[in-house]
Chain A
Amino acid sequence: MEELMNQHYSETEKHRIFHTEFMPHINSMHNFAYRLTLDADDASDLVQDTYLKAYRFIDSFQQGTNAKAWLFRILKNSFINDYRKKSKEPSMVDYQDVETYYNSDEVNRQITPDLRVEALQDMIGDEISNALNSLDVDFRTVIILCDLEGFKYDEMAKILDIPIGTVRSRLHRARNLLKEKLTDYARKMGYKNT
């Protein structure tokens, strides 16, 4: 939780804020939780935990600020603290390695996408969803926050506790990785590189 000036809401106020400002984001929250945990039960548990935490810490929420970003931050932190540990996926990637690798010329050369719009239009099944889910969780996260939820750089920086510059570069790499995955699918679907 951010060290902010705490509010002192009455119980009635708390309930009102919870129902009018927090609950409307439940579908986005659930999708975010599912994309992080990749498990329906874990996603529901994570959302439930997050909402209970949000209520418990409601005095640190300032009305008029972005409730959705505030909730996403709690969810992301709960995921890291309580779920990431037990998830089957290989834990924390060594970021230094990843960032160095994806900054290298070698990768930039590989990413001259032969992917075409027509191939994407044929991806009517779960291809894009599977491609997204196959990305490392940190790359997956920025795509969700930006492309699905429309958060701005400064909001993502707060949700993820990283500098804005890192948000930008991580998004850039995430998009390239996603394109690589989609290019693989396109090849499997019979699209030839031109």
Chain B
Amino acid sequence: MPTLPDSSDPSKSFNCREMLQKILDGEATTEQQQQFKIHMAECMPCYKGYELEMAIKMLLQKKCNGNGAPPDLIEKIKNQISQITPH
């Protein structure tokens, strides 16, 4: 498993694949994102992996978000709730 040693601080070396997942999952800190960005500039497999994963994520967001809830469903729910009277 490839790891990237940070030349300035060996304790900061990280596992590329794990870091990529953290970024994709929205769990990476700003610092970790920066670190990965620097790393990607020098590592083609990581760059390609990142590009592909982000393209999939974008495609999901563009194509799989649905067309919104049907208006009659929204009305139905609102009506049902408004009919619940205090007791």
Contact = CB atoms under 8 A, between A and B. Distances in A.
Interface string B63-87: 1111011100110111011101010
B66 to A, nearest CB: 4
Interface in A147-172: 147-148, 150, 152-153, 168, 171-172
Interface residues of A, number: 44
B60 A148 contact: yes
A60 to B, nearest CB: 17
Contacts of A81: none
Contact of A31 (B52, B65, B74): B65
Interface stretch (B8-16, B23-31, B36-44): B23-31
A44 interface: yes
Majority DSSP secondary structure for residues of A touching B: helix
B51 interface: yes
Given A48-B76, A129-B64, A26 B69 contact: yes
A113 B52 contact: yes
22 contacts: A19-B78, A23-B74, A23-B78, A26-B69, A26-B74, A30-B68, A30-B70, A44-B73, A55-B84, A117-B51, A117-B52, A120-B52, A121-B55, A126-B63, A128-B59, A143-B60, A144-B64, A147-B61, A148-B64, A150-B26, A153-B25, A175-B53
